[in-house]
C-alpha cells in the first residue's frame, strides 16, 4: 500500500470511495491491518477499555497514548496514523500543543480531539504548528458523565443544528477530518455532504465518507457489543480474513447496514 496522506483521504472523498479506519494498539495488528487495506490506524483512547480494563476512557494518559502510538508506528506499512488526545490533555491551548507534540513525535500523523465548535481556536493553533486535527462530534466518550450515559446525539433539532454548525465552523478553523459517533444516519449524511473534509462514521450510517470500529469489537471479543458493531470473525477462518472482510464491506458500502444505524 502506498503511503496514505491527508491528500489521499481528500481524494477518496472527492472520488466517492469509502475510507477504511480501524483502531490499533500494537505493531502486530498494525501490520495485519495494513495488509488488509486499512487506510487509517486509530490509536484510540478506547485502549483504556479493551487493553487496560477500565470502565471508561478517562484514566488514559498522554504517556499511554504515546507508548501505543510508537508500537503501531513500528508495524505500520503505509497507513495514516491518527492518535486520540486523552481526557483533559487539551483543556488549554498550551496543553493541546504540548500533548499533540508528544504524540506526533512518537509517530502520529494527526491527532483527534472530542468536542464541538468551541475547539475552533485549538484546531487553528494546532494547524498553524503543523499538527492536523480530527474532531470527534456526537457521542464523545470523554464526556459520558455530562451526557448521563452512552446516548445517541443529535436526535432533536436544536442539537442537530448545533452539530451542523460545528462541522462547518471546525472545517473553517482548519480541521482536517471529522468523526461522527452515534449520530442519526440522515444527519450524518447531511454533514458529510456539507463539508469538503473527510467525515468518518461509527454508528452514523453508511453515507459518511468512511467507517471506523474498535478492533476488539469487530473481532467479536466484546460480550455486549453496541448496535453499530458487526462481528467480522463470523464465517472467517482467521483474523487476517476478518480484517479483509471488514475492509471490503466498508469499501463496497455493505457495512454499516441499516440495522447498524440510528433514526432521528
Q: Catalytic residue positions?
A: 181
Please report, in range form, the residues annotated as the binding site for Mg(2+).
45, 84, 114
Residues 6+ apart with CB under 8 A from 31: 75, 76, 77
Q: Are 18 and 250 in contact (CB under 8 A)?
A: yes
| Sign of the Cα pseudo-torsion (91, 115, 162, 148, in order) | negative
Please report, in range form, the residues annotated as the binding site for 3-methyl-2-oxobutanoate.
45-46, 84, 112
Please report, in range form, the residues annotated as the binding site.
45-46, 84, 112, 114
DSSP per-residue string spanning the chain = -PPP-HHHHHHHHHHTPPEEEEE--SHHHHHHHHHTT--EEEE-TTHHHHTT--SSSTT--HHHHHHHHHHHHHH-SSPEEEEE--TTSSSSHHHHHHHHHHHHHTT-SEEEEE--GGGHHHHHHHHHTT--EEEEEES-GGGHHHHTSS-----SHHHHHHHHHHHHHHHHHT-SEEEEES--HHHHHHHHHH-SS-EEEESS-TTSSEEEE-HHHHTT--SS--TT---TTTT-SSHHHHHHHHHHHHHTT-SS-GGGS---
Residues 6+ apart with CB under 8 A from 165: 117
Amino acid at each position: 500500500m502506498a503511503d496514505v496522506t491527508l491528500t489521499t483521504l481528500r481524494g477518496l472523498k472527492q472520488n466517492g470511495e469509502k475510507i477504511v479506519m480501524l483502531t490499533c494498539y500494537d505493531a502486530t495488528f498494525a501490520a495485519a491491518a495494513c495488509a488488509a487495506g486499512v487506510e487509517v490506524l486509530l490509536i484510540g483512547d478506547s485502549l483504556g477499555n479493551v487493553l487496560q480494563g477500565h470502565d471508561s476512557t478517562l484514566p488514559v494518559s498522554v504517556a499511554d497514548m504515546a507508548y501505543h502510538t510508537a508500537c503501531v508506528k513500528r508495524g505500520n506499512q503505509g497507513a495514516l496514523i491518527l492518535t486520540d488526545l486523552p481526557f483533559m490533555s487539551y483543556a488549554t491551548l498550551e496543553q493541546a500543543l504540548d500533548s499533540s507534540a508528544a504524540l506526533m513525535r512518537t509517530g502520529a500523523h494527526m491527532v483527534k480531539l472530542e468536542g464541538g465548535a468551541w475547539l475552533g481556536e485549538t484546531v487553528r493553533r494546532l494547524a498553524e504548528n503543523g499538527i492536523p486535527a480530527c474532531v470527534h462530534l456526537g457521542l464523545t466518550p470523554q464526556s459520558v458523565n455530562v451526557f448521563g450515559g452512552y446516548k445517541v446525539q443529535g436526535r432533536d433539532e436544536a442539537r442537530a443544528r448545533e452539530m451542523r454548525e460545528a462541522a462547518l465552523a471546525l472545517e473553517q478553523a482548519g480541521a482536517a477530518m471529522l468523526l461522527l459517533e452515534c449520530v442519526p444516519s440522515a444527519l450524518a449524511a447531511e454533514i458529510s455532504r456539507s463539508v469538503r473534509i473527510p467525515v468518518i462514521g461509527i454508528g452514523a450510517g453508511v453515507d459518511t465518507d468512511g467507517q471506523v470500529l474498535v478492533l476488539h469489537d469487530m473481532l467479536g471479543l466484546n460480550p455486549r457489543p453496541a448496535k453499530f458493531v458487526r462481528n467480522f470473525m463470523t464465517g472467517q477462518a482467521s483474523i487476517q480474513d476478518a480484517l479483509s472482510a471488514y475492509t471490503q464491506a466498508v469499501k463496497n458500502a455493505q457495512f454499516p447496514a441499516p440495522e447498524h444505524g440510528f433514526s432521528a
